[in-house]
Structure 1
Amino acid sequence: LCQGRDMKFAFVAKHRSIWPVAWLCEALGVSRSGFHAWFNRSPSEHARHDEVLLERIKQSFQSSDRTYGARRVWHDVLEEGLSCGLHLIERLMRLNALRARPRRRGLPKDAGDRAVIMPNVLDRQFVADRPNQKWVADFTYIWTAEGWLYVAAVIDLFSRRVVGWSMNANMTAQLVTDALIMAIWRRGKPDALLHHSDQGSQYTSEQFQRL
């Protein structure tokens, strides 16, 4: 219990320049008087041990490009001769916001079947005389802490503005379909226009072609 309280006091001391001490103490369930008494006395043996341990944890975590969780960090710490339990590593990482992110995988590949290949009607004529005459569409992917995020967009060549978009964790026909549905809805359901995209399986799918 004492060790857990010291860790909370250490968290308050580290973040007192960002948030009021009273708020931090209330959130962590400790008293302000107890914090000030702890802060003004010399560091205990446990606190000094935790400081050394935290530095080793940060070294292991950063050298893994922030992909190591508590268990792998713990093995690194043990290999360096420091004695501690896995639970302590988990608490120190949690209190210091050391959260592992997934390793970046290889670039995503389009493995879908291409059902329909339409002729290139646009033929690189990227100029439009009026709104809702020519739309171009594509999607890209962005690496995030939770993995790949796919973003689809539809652009009106007259204004060069995005008129429809969507985001999804999966590279499916639904991703590009949602972007086109938004564009149609936002532009008042135009009667006829040219929609141009690449030959990716999402755009040549039966689902998208029906739309």
Structure 2
Amino acid sequence: MIVGFIDEYRKVYGVESVCRALSAHGIQIAPRTYRKARRRPPSARDIADAHVENALRDLLGQPEEMYGRRKMTRYLRRKGHRVAFCTVDRIMRDLGMNGIVRGRKLRTTIAAKDGIRAGDKLNRDFTALAPNRVWVADFTYVSTWTGWAYVAFVFDAYSRAIVGWTTAATKTTALVSKALNMAVWRRDHYGHPIEPGLIHHSDAGSQAVFN
């Protein structure tokens, strides 16, 4: 990686200048070390990785491109590549390849078991004449490299400003209650305490029945 970086900038700044800049940032490499590394033949691992990388690139636009790490490892082995799962995982991650994840569709609105919803005190009118009169809350989910993340938020219907929010790895009652607690604390902290009469309108799911 370091050799490739120097290769990219050496024609503009020179090898010595690039090495000095890298050393100043804690990456110690001498020009002689760089030149020696360039003359060194590729290792057996580099050659094996190149074959696997080429095989993965050849799958572009093919159904096998959607395979995950484990299924891709078995596929490459059937094609004659003696490759370990960790190697396929590393190279696919470097190439930005991700398999299709199959499973249950995520739901954020789960009705209560008794089927009874809290009454809609706003009657679908999401407007307010002043701050801290009507708050609207909900939560959703986003996909991340480590899994699904859930985001809950509360916004003021008057200003449309988000006054409270929180994130978590699971969709629990605490996810939405913490967002509400944060909203109450922030309004009080910035000199706009909550007065009696505030309506908190939320999602109809069992995690967020606050009406």
TM bracket, shorter-chain basis? 0.5 to 0.7
Q: Is the 8 A contact 1:148 1:169 kept in 2?
A: yes
Q: Is the 8 A contact 1:165 1:183 kept in 2?
A: yes
Match of 1:89 in 2: 87
Change (3 A) 1:108 1:21: farther
**Aligned residues: CA RMSD:** 3.9
Change (3 A) 1:150 1:59: farther
Matches within 5 A, 1:170-189: 170-188=170-188, 189=193
Q: Is the 8 A contact 2:131 2:159 kept in 1?
A: yes
C-alpha distance in 2 between matches for 1:152 and 1:196: 13
Which of 163, 182, 203 matches 2:208?
203
Match of 2:36 in 1: 37
Identity of aligned residues (%): 28
Structure 2 unaligned residues grouped into runs of 5+: 10-17
Matches within 5 A, 1:38-187: 38-40=37-39, 47-59=46-58, 63-65=64-66, 68-69=68-69, 72-82=71-81, 84-86=82-84, 89=87, 93=91, 96=94, 103=101, 105-109=103-107, 110-111=109-110, 113=112, 117-187=117-187
C-alpha distance in 2 between matches for 1:45 and 1:190: 68
Q: Is the 8 A contact 1:153 1:165 kept in 2?
A: yes
Structure 1 unaligned residues grouped into runs of 5+: 1-10
Change (3 A) 1:96 1:21: farther
C-alpha distance in 1 between matches for 2:52 and 2:119: 64
Q: Is the 8 A contact 1:163 1:183 kept in 2?
A: yes
Deviation at 1:36, TM superposition (A): 1.9
C-alpha distance in 1 between matches for 2:86 and 2:135: 56
C-alpha distance in 2 between matches for 1:203 and 1:46: 53
Q: Is the 8 A contact 2:49 2:91 kept in 1?
A: no
C-alpha distance in 2 between matches for 1:21 and 1:76: 42
C-alpha distance in 1 between matches for 2:118 and 2:87: 57
Letter in 2 for 1:145: W
Match of 2:15 in 1: none
Change (3 A) 1:199 1:85: closer
* TM-score normalised to structure 1 length: 0.68
Letter in 2 for 1:56: A
C-alpha distance in 2 between matches for 1:107 and 1:95: 25
Q: Is the 8 A contact 2:166 2:176 kept in 1?
A: yes
Tell which deviates more after alignment, 152-161 or 53-62: 53-62
Letter in 2 for 1:191: E
C-alpha distance in 2 between matches for 1:88 and 1:139: 36
Q: Is the 8 A contact 1:12 1:21 kept in 2?
A: no
Structure 1 residues 167-196: Cα deviation after superposition (integer angstroms, max 9, x where no partner): 111111111101100110111141321111
